[in-house]
């Protein structure tokens, strides 16, 4: 099956109520590798994103990782609003993005880099829209839970849930929209920082010790 481009999706479906804006930096700040990675992003399909996630040398394209993360969030919202795109493909993009580590020093994944310079509100705004699909398909709730709690290699990154827990709309438009049992699970989740040195509660600043 031929997948639709972003432009075709926008022409055939209603866009989400809160359309994310991709904030591309000054082109002069990009290396040639950065520019190549982001080239033509407006027309990318989910398969294009998968190809770039698998082929990019992220240690070299560090400057493009923030905008790339924003692009992935936007494309996932577009795909979720397109009934012609199967959930399994959306899930595949999420899984690969979660597991794509950016740089040897930053140690975060592509999602975590989204909004790097403009704050993490863009990630929270994504979840405000993405979570609405859980009403018709419980698999979205499970995918969101995974996105909120996942850590990259060797416990060196902060889970998305921890990063956005103080953002505008988190409590009422994201957390409150999850099934009650999932809210309880998230509230009891914890994670290790600094390669296991300290354990923190996912949704608060509480340190749970070693």
How confident is the model over 154-208, as pLDDT tens digits? Answer: 556 789 999 999 999 999 999 999 999 999 999 999 988 766 677 889 998 888 7
What tokens appear for 205 in the block?
Answer: 């600043």
**For residue 24, how far is the Cα from the chain centroid?**
17
pTM for the predicted model, two decimal places: 0.86
Give yes or no for a contact between 160 and 72, defined as CB atoms under 8 angstroms apart: no
* Number of domains the chain contains: 1
The mean pLDDT of 54-66, rounded to a whole number, is: 88
Q: State which residues form the domain around 203.
A: 6-209
pLDDT in tens, 91-145: 999 999 999 888 765 568 899 889 877 789 999 999 999 999 999 999 999 999 9
C-alpha triplet 89, 91, 97: angle, nearest 5°: 105
DSSP H stretches of helix in the chain: 6-12, 32-38, 46-55, 65-80, 87-98, 110-113, 121-130, 138-149, 160-164, 180-188
Query: 40: buried, middle or exposed (CB in 10 Å: 19+, 13-18, 0-12)?
Result: exposed
User: Per mean pLDDT, which of 12-16, 38-42, 175-179 is the most reliable?
Assistant: 175-179
Whether residue 1 lies inside any domain: the answer is no
C-alpha triplet 62, 68, 70: angle, nearest 5°: 130
CA distances from 70 to 61, 76, 119, 170, 181 (A): 15, 10, 11, 18, 30
**Which residues are 191's β-sheet partners?**
200
b/e map 119-147, b = 16+ CB within 10 Å: ebebbbbbbbbbbbbbeeeeebbebbbeb
Whether residue 39 lies inside any domain: the answer is yes
Distance CA 15, CA 18 (A): 8
Whether residue 199 lies inside any domain: the answer is yes
pLDDT in tens, 78-92: 999 999 999 999 999
């Amino acid at each position: 099956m031929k997948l639709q481009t972003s432009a075709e999706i926008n022409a055939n479906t209603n866009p989400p109520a809160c359309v994310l804006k991709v904030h591309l930096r000054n082109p002069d700040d990009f290396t040639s590798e950065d520019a190549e990675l982001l080239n033509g992003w407006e027309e990318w399909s989910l398969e294009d994103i998968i190809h770039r996630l698998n082929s990019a040398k992220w240690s070299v394209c560090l400057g493009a990782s923030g905008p790339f993360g924003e692009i992935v969030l936007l494309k996932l919202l577009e795909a979720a609003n397109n009934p012609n795109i199967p959930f399994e493909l959306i899930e595949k993009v999420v899984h690969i993005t979660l597991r794509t580590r950016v740089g040897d020093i930053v140690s975060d994944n592509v999602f975590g880099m989204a909004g790097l310079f403009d704050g993490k509100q863009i990630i929270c705004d994504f979840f405000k829209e993405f979570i609405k699909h859980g009403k018709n398909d419980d698999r979205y709730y499970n995918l969101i839970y995974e996105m909120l709690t996942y850590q990259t290699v060797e416990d060196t990154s902060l889970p998305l849930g921890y990063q956005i827990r103080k953002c505008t709309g988190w409590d009422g438009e994201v957390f409150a929209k999850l099934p009650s049992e999932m809210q309880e699970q998230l509230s009891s989740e914890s994670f290790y920082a600094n390669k296991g040195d300290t354990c923190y509660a996912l949704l608060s600043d509480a340190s749970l010790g070693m």
